[in-house]
Amino acid sequence: MTTASSADHPTRRDFLFVATGAFAAVGGAAALWPFISQMNPDASTIAAGAPIEVDLSPVAEGQDIKVFWRGKPIYISHRTKKQIDEARAVNVASLPDPQSDEARVKSGHEQWLVVIGICTHLGCIPIAHEGNYDGFFCPCHGSQYDSSGRIRQGPAPANLPVPPYQFVSDTKIQIG
Ligand code: FES
């Protein structure tokens, strides 16, 4: 169930919030965002670190969603072919934190990028689909990450971390 008014007209700013059980603890602002229900443990169990499952089927190509795991924002990007191609065309040796795109996604599911959405500089929350690399832009001090979540510009020293996760079906992942 998605109520994203922008779902029919994807834009660069498309960014759905996906509510997990843990999200209830985040605050009243949640009501303003599209809500996708998840079959997950209750909030206290998730806060304690239980794995969560996320259904990816409502996420259109070019869109991003945010879920919470262990109190951290997790960004899940349904990447376009252009984004994947751009991420793979980069000379890995030239990167501040060299890592191939292949090493940051699951083989056979290259369209899905899953990263912890906390800037590796001082911990701000980057914005998806912003910046010069069609990835993530951190407004605090200008760090820019590419469509693989790798740091490309600005003071952040490292790539956005990839949390432990696995595909439990073609359209569902388990994080944690
Ligand atoms: S916290 Fe992101 S650039 Fe400083």
Per-residue pLDDT tens digits for 93-139: 999 999 999 999 999 999 999 999 999 999 999 999 899 999 999 99
Q: Do 131 and 145 meet the contact criterion of CB atoms below 8 Å apart?
A: yes
Does 9 participate in catalysis according to the annotation? no
Does position 22 have pLDDT exceeding 50, yes or no? no
Both tokens of 143, joined, read 């760090």
* Ligand 1-lining residues (CB < 6 angstroms): 119, 121-124, 138, 140-143, 154-156
Going by C-alpha positions, the residue among 37, 100, 111 that lies closest to residue 77 is 111
Find the mean pLDDT for residues 8-22: 47
Q: How far is CA 56 from CA 37, 62, 88, in A?
A: 12, 13, 23
Centre of ligand 1 to C-alpha 1, Å, is 34
Weakest mean pLDDT among 4-8, 14-18, 96-100: 4-8
With pLDDT > 70 as the criterion, what percentage of the chain qualifies? 73
Q: How far is CA 146 from CA 2, 137, 169, in A?
A: 27, 9, 27
Does position 32 have pLDDT exceeding 80, yes or no? no
Centre of ligand 1 to C-alpha 108, Å, is 32
**Kind of pairing between the strands at 16-17 and 64-69:** parallel
Instruction: Between 65 and 12, name the one with better pLDDT.
Output: 65
Find the mean pLDDT for residues 131-155: 97
Q: Which atom of ligand 1 is nearest to the CA of 138?
A: 2
The count of other CB atoms within 10 Å of the CB of residue 146 is 23
If one residue of 138, 153, 159 were mutated to test the ligand 1 pocket, choosing by the most ligand atoms within 8 A of its CB, it would be 138
Centre of ligand 1 to C-alpha 159, Å, is 12
Weakest mean pLDDT among 26-35, 105-114, 156-165: 26-35
